[in-house]
Amino acid sequence: MHSFDYHPVSIVLPSPAKLNLFLAITGRRADGFHDLVSVVAPVEFGDTLTVEPRAHGFSLECDEPALEIDERNLVLRAARAFAAVAHWKGGAHFSLQKRIPTGAGLGGGSSNATTALLALNQLAGAPLSLEALTAVAAQIGSDCALFLSGGPVVMRGRGEQVQPLPPQAADRLRGRPVLIFKPAFCIGTAWAYQQLAAGAPTGYLPAREAEALVEGWIDHATAPAEELLFNNMEAPAFSKFVALPVLLDRLREDFGLQPRMSGSGSACFALLPETAPVAAITGKIRECWGPDAFVAETRLA
């Protein structure tokens, strides 16, 4: 659990990426969002956010030139939301060291926003409880609240309903080696959901079936993490971006892995045995996707 101790000086916090180990989109809601059931785990790999106190106002700089640093950025939106809810008159300057690729399904922007909330709560002397921070995070983005957990969770609703995995189930995930890899292209989240909606109801997994799959894995005390893996957003992505399934099939055939796409893509991941030939796997990824493919070896947090 995160600490909310008061710090009058600069704060440096990790801003982790996430992986959707299990993702079932169960249907479209009246408000236009989609309902889902997802088991999500943060990873040790991620960005770094440095927060310096200011007398007033919020500003942002980033070492990734392509990232917008104006009012569209979730960090600044989170800062203003925090100030409004906490009735805080202070300010801060954010410096974001960006390592999580964008357009990847790894939750980088949401993680940055939630990390900003945590930092500001420390700077302000912890005026908001974890429950209140969770409510603010849920208003900023559907998958922001999960980053307050510090470990694997089950998300429901549009992603704002977050429940920690039971300890025994979480222990089967924590510390697992994982390789994250992404091609040079991105997949738009809105496009991916539109494809699912266009094929409704075929592409959706009924909520009762999704819940049964998750509960079955949780209750099976010795079931390995690989038996949990599922993502029904792969179908529309794979139908257009054939480089994804081609590589994943190669990794299954050549290395016995069970790779999956995370979220709406385009990033994919593979849980690894401790003795996995990471260099050879990385070589295969870059052979298929080119030398610019992003690859990061990390562990589930």
Instruction: With respect to residue 192, please indicate whether it lies within any of the assigned structural domains.
Output: yes
Instruction: With respect to residue 5, please indicate whether it lies within any of the assigned structural domains.
Output: no
Whether 163 and 258 map to the same domain: the answer is no
Whether 188 and 294 map to the same domain: the answer is yes
Tokens standing for 158? 């549009």
Whether 213 and 288 map to the same domain: the answer is yes
Is 292 one of the catalytic residues?
no
| Each residue's pLDDT expressed in tens, for the chain with a length of 301 residues | 454 444 457 999 999 999 999 999 999 988 888 999 999 999 999 999 999 999 999 999 999 998 898 888 999 999 999 999 999 999 999 999 999 998 899 999 999 999 999 999 999 999 999 999 999 999 999 889 999 998 999 999 988 899 999 999 999 999 999 999 999 999 998 899 999 888 888 899 999 999 999 999 999 999 999 999 999 999 999 999 999 999 999 999 999 999 999 999 999 999 999 999 999 999 999 999 999 999 999 999 9
Instruction: With respect to residue 6, please indicate whether it lies within any of the assigned structural domains.
Output: no
CATH of the domain at 22: 3.30.230.10
User: Of these residues, 35, 47, 98, 143, which one is catalytic?
Assistant: 143
User: Of these residues, 18, 35, 98, 182, which one is catalytic?
Assistant: 18
Instruction: Find, among 164, 182, 165, the residue nearest to 243 by Cα.
Output: 182
Whether 118 and 25 map to the same domain: the answer is yes
Instruction: With respect to residue 139, please indicate whether it lies within any of the assigned structural domains.
Output: yes
Instruction: With respect to residue 223, please indicate whether it lies within any of the assigned structural domains.
Output: yes
Whether 155 and 182 map to the same domain: the answer is no
Whether 37 and 98 map to the same domain: the answer is yes
Pick left, alpha or beta for residue 294 (phi over 0 → left; psi -120 to 50 → alpha; otherwise beta). Answer: beta
Instruction: With respect to residue 55, please indicate whether it lies within any of the assigned structural domains.
Output: yes
Is 143 one of the catalytic residues?
yes
Domain of residue 121 covers 11-167
Whether 96 and 179 map to the same domain: the answer is no
pLDDT at 3: 45
Domain finish residue from 142, 167, 192? 167
Question: pLDDT tens digit string along 174-217?
Answer: 999 999 999 999 999 889 999 988 888 889 999 999 999 999 99
Domain finish residue from 167, 200, 233? 167
Instruction: With respect to residue 3, please indicate whether it lies within any of the assigned structural domains.
Output: no
Whether 180 and 71 map to the same domain: the answer is no
Question: pLDDT tens digit string along 218-261?
Answer: 999 999 999 999 999 999 999 999 999 999 999 999 999 999 99
A 10 A CB-CB count for 58 gives 22
